[in-house]
Structure 1
Amino acid sequence: MRAGVVALATVAAVLTVPATSAAAAVPAPQPGTLVSADPADTTPHARDGETRAFAQIGDTVFVGGSFTQIRQTAASAWIARPYLFAYDRRTGAISTTFLPALDGAVNSLVAGPGGTLIVGGAFKNVNGVSRKNLVALHPGTGATVAGWVGRSDGGMIRDMALYGNWLYVAGAFNWLNGAAHSGLGRLDATTGAVDPTFTVDATVGRHGTGSYAWTIDLTPDGRTLAVGGNFTSVDGLPRNQMALVDVTGTPTVLDWSTEKFVAPCASPATFVHYVQDVEFGPDGSWFVVGTNGGAGWPAAYCDALVRFETGARGAGQLGTWVNFTGNDTITSVEVADNIIYLGGHFRWLNNPNASDAAGPGAIDRLGIAAVTPATGLPVNWNPGRRGSDTMPPGTSTWGSQVPVLWRGSDGLYFGHNSDGMGREYHGRLGMFPLAGGRTITPKNPPTATTGHLYLGTAEGQLAKVPFDGAALGAPTTVSQPTYTGAGATWRVSDRIYWSHLVPGTPTGSRLDISMFNGGAIGVPWESSGYNDWFNPAAMTGAFFLDGRLYYTRAGANALYYRYFEVDGNYLGATEFTLPTTGMTWSSVRGMAWVGGRIVYGATDGALRSVPFDPAGAPAVNGAAATTLAPATAALTWSTPRMFFSVQ
Structure 2
Amino acid sequence: MRGGLLRPVVALVLALGLVAAADGPAPADQDVVVSPTPAPKHPRILDGRVYDIANAGPKVLVAGTFATIRNGEFESPEVQQPRLFRFDSDTGLIDESFRPRINGDVEAVTYTADRSAILIAGDFTRVNGKKALRIAKLRLNGALHTGFKAGASRRVKDFALVGGRLILGGEFNKINGRDVGRMAAVRPGTGALDRSFHLGVTGSRDQFAPYVQELDVSADGRWLVIGGNFQRVGSAERHQVAVINLTGDRPRVAPWSTGRYRGDCAKSYNDTYIRGIDVSPDNKFFVVNTTGAHLGPDRMCDSSARWELPPAGAGTNRQPTWVNHSGGDTYWAVEITESAVYVGGHMRWSNNPHPSPGGDNDGSGSVSRPGIAALDPYSGVPLSWNPGRDRGRGVEAFNATDDYLMVGSDTNFFAGQIRQRLAMLPVAGGTPNPAPQNVPLPVNFFYTTSGTDLNRMAFDGSSFGPISTVSGGVNWSGTRDGFVQDGRLHYFGADQAFYWRSFTTSTVGASVRNLSTSVGYVDEDANLTPYDQPYGVDTTRTAAFDGGRVLYTKTGDPKLYYRGYSLESGILGGFESIASSRDWSGARSLELIGNWLYAAWSDNKLYRFAAPDGLPRWDTRAVVDNGATSDIPWSSTTGLWATAGSG
Class of the TM-score when normalised by the shorter of the 2 chains:
0.7 to 0.9
Distance 1:359 1:145, change over 3 A: same
Give the residue type in structure 1 aligned to 2:366: A
3-state SS of the aligned residue for 1:437? coil
Matches within 5 A, 1:118-133: 118-133=119-134
1:625 aligns with 2:617: no
Matches within 5 A, 1:432-443: 432-443=425-436
Q: Which residue in 2 is equivalent to 1:172?
A: 171
Matches within 5 A, 1:295-444: 295-298=294-297, 300-311=299-310, 312-354=313-355, 355-385=359-389, 397-444=390-437
Q: Which residue in 2 is equivalent to 1:524?
A: 512
Q: Which residue in 1 is equivalent to 2:575?
A: 574
- Alpha-carbon displacement from aligned partner over 1:608-645 (angstroms, at most 9, x marks no partner): 13033152785343542332423999956413133334
Tell me, which stretches of 5 or more residues in structure 2 are unaligned?
4-29, 522-530
CA displacement at 1:338 relative to structure 2: 4.4
- Alpha-carbon displacement from aligned partner over 1:497-531 (angstroms, at most 9, x marks no partner): 233323xxxxxx21112222434352322124446
1:497 aligns with 2:495: no
Picking from 603, 609, 612, the partner of 2:610 is: 612
3-state SS of the aligned residue for 2:324? strand
2: distance between equivalents of 1:165 and 1:578? 45
Indicate if the aligned counterparts of 1:2 and 1:159 stay in contact, CA closer than 8 A: no
1:462 aligns with 2:450: no
Q: Which moved more, 1:433-442 or 1:420-429?
A: 433-442
Q: Which moved more, 1:407-416 or 1:462-471?
A: 462-471
- Alpha-carbon displacement from aligned partner over 1:34-82 (angstroms, at most 9, x marks no partner): 2221111111011221011112234321111100100112343322111
CA displacement at 1:163 relative to structure 2: 1.2
Tell me, which stretches of 5 or more residues in structure 1 are unaligned?
4-30, 386-396, 503-508
CA displacement at 1:179 relative to structure 2: 1.2
Matches within 5 A, 1:50-449: 50-73=49-72, 74-114=74-114, 115-139=116-140, 141-153=141-153, 155-247=154-246, 248-267=248-267, 269-270=268-269, 272-298=271-297, 300-311=299-310, 312-354=313-355, 355-385=359-389, 397-444=390-437, 446-449=439-442
Indicate if the aligned counterparts of 1:48 and 1:67 stay in contact, CA closer than 8 A: yes
Distance 1:82 1:286, change over 3 A: same
Give the residue type in structure 2 aligned to 1:378: P
Q: Which residue in 1 is equivalent to 2:590?
A: 591
3-state SS of the aligned residue for 1:585? coil
Give the residue type in structure 2 aligned to 1:84: L
Indicate if the aligned counterparts of 1:631 and 1:637 stay in contact, CA closer than 8 A: no
Q: Which moved more, 1:286-295 or 1:488-497?
A: 488-497
Give the residue type in structure 1 aligned to 2:628: P
Give the residue type in structure 1 aligned to 2:378: A
Indicate if the aligned counterparts of 2:330 and 2:345 stay in contact, CA closer than 8 A: yes
2: distance between equivalents of 1:520 and 1:618? 30
1:553 aligns with 2:554: yes
1: distance between equivalents of 2:145 and 2:206? 40
Q: Which residue in 2 is equivalent to 1:17?
A: none
CA displacement at 1:443 relative to structure 2: 4.1
Distance 1:643 1:404, change over 3 A: same
Indicate if the aligned counterparts of 1:230 and 1:241 stay in contact, CA closer than 8 A: yes
Indicate if the aligned counterparts of 1:304 and 1:323 stay in contact, CA closer than 8 A: yes
3-state SS of the aligned residue for 1:206? coil
Indicate if the aligned counterparts of 2:296 and 2:354 stay in contact, CA closer than 8 A: no
Distance 1:88 1:490, change over 3 A: closer
Give the residue type in structure 1 aligned to 2:419: H
1: distance between equivalents of 2:467 and 2:97? 78
Indicate if the aligned counterparts of 1:399 and 1:418 stay in contact, CA closer than 8 A: yes
Indicate if the aligned counterparts of 2:257 and 2:315 stay in contact, CA closer than 8 A: yes
- Alpha-carbon displacement from aligned partner over 1:116-163 (angstroms, at most 9, x marks no partner): 001111111111111111111111x2111121101111x111111011
Aligned length: 597
2: distance between equivalents of 1:332 and 1:634? 53
Q: Which moved more, 1:253-262 or 1:94-103?
A: 253-262
Give me the TM-score of the superposition, normalised by structure 2: 0.86
Indicate if the aligned counterparts of 2:591 and 2:598 stay in contact, CA closer than 8 A: yes
Indicate if the aligned counterparts of 1:113 and 1:189 stay in contact, CA closer than 8 A: no
Give the residue type in structure 1 aligned to 2:55: Q
3-state SS of the aligned residue for 1:229? strand
CA displacement at 1:455 relative to structure 2: 2.3
Give the residue type in structure 1 aligned to 2:218: T
Distance 1:625 1:142, change over 3 A: same
Q: Which moved more, 1:34-43 or 1:436-445?
A: 436-445
2: distance between equivalents of 1:521 and 1:483? 13
Indicate if the aligned counterparts of 1:455 and 1:464 stay in contact, CA closer than 8 A: no
Distance 1:298 1:486, change over 3 A: closer
Indicate if the aligned counterparts of 1:472 and 1:628 stay in contact, CA closer than 8 A: no
2: distance between equivalents of 1:380 and 1:275? 26
Q: Which residue in 1 is equivalent to 2:527?
A: none
Indicate if the aligned counterparts of 2:308 and 2:321 stay in contact, CA closer than 8 A: yes
Distance 1:201 1:634, change over 3 A: closer
CA displacement at 1:256 relative to structure 2: 2.9
RMSD, aligned α-carbons: 2.6
3-state SS of the aligned residue for 2:206? helix
3-state SS of the aligned residue for 2:259? coil
Distance 1:499 1:335, change over 3 A: closer
CA displacement at 1:580 relative to structure 2: 7.1
Q: Which residue in 2 is equivalent to 1:472?
A: 464
3-state SS of the aligned residue for 1:522? coil
2: distance between equivalents of 1:82 and 1:183? 27
Distance 1:282 1:485, change over 3 A: same
Q: Which residue in 2 is equivalent to 1:49?
A: 48
CA displacement at 1:448 relative to structure 2: 4.4
CA displacement at 1:376 relative to structure 2: 1.2
CA displacement at 1:299 relative to structure 2: 5.0
Give the residue type in structure 2 aligned to 1:405: F
1: distance between equivalents of 2:235 and 2:441? 54
CA displacement at 1:466 relative to structure 2: 4.6
Give the residue type in structure 2 aligned to 1:376: G
2: distance between equivalents of 1:279 and 1:633? 53
- Alpha-carbon displacement from aligned partner over 1:447-466 (angstroms, at most 9, x marks no partner): 342424332352x3334445
1: distance between equivalents of 2:226 and 2:434? 32
Give the residue type in structure 2 aligned to 1:199: H
2: distance between equivalents of 1:38 and 1:359? 28
CA displacement at 1:200 relative to structure 2: 1.5
Matches within 5 A, 1:29-48: 32-48=31-47
Instruction: Report which structure shows greater RCO (CA 8 Å, sep ≥6).
Output: 1
CA displacement at 1:430 relative to structure 2: 2.1
CA displacement at 1:541 relative to structure 2: 2.2
- Alpha-carbon displacement from aligned partner over 1:453-483 (angstroms, at most 9, x marks no partner): 332352x333444544332344344412343
Distance 1:565 1:77, change over 3 A: same
Q: Which moved more, 1:258-267 or 1:520-529?
A: 520-529
Q: Which moved more, 1:607-616 or 1:570-579?
A: 607-616
1: distance between equivalents of 2:487 and 2:134? 56
Distance 1:165 1:448, change over 3 A: same
Indicate if the aligned counterparts of 2:610 and 2:616 stay in contact, CA closer than 8 A: no
Give the residue type in structure 1 aligned to 2:176: N
Q: Which moved more, 1:348-357 or 1:623-632?
A: 623-632
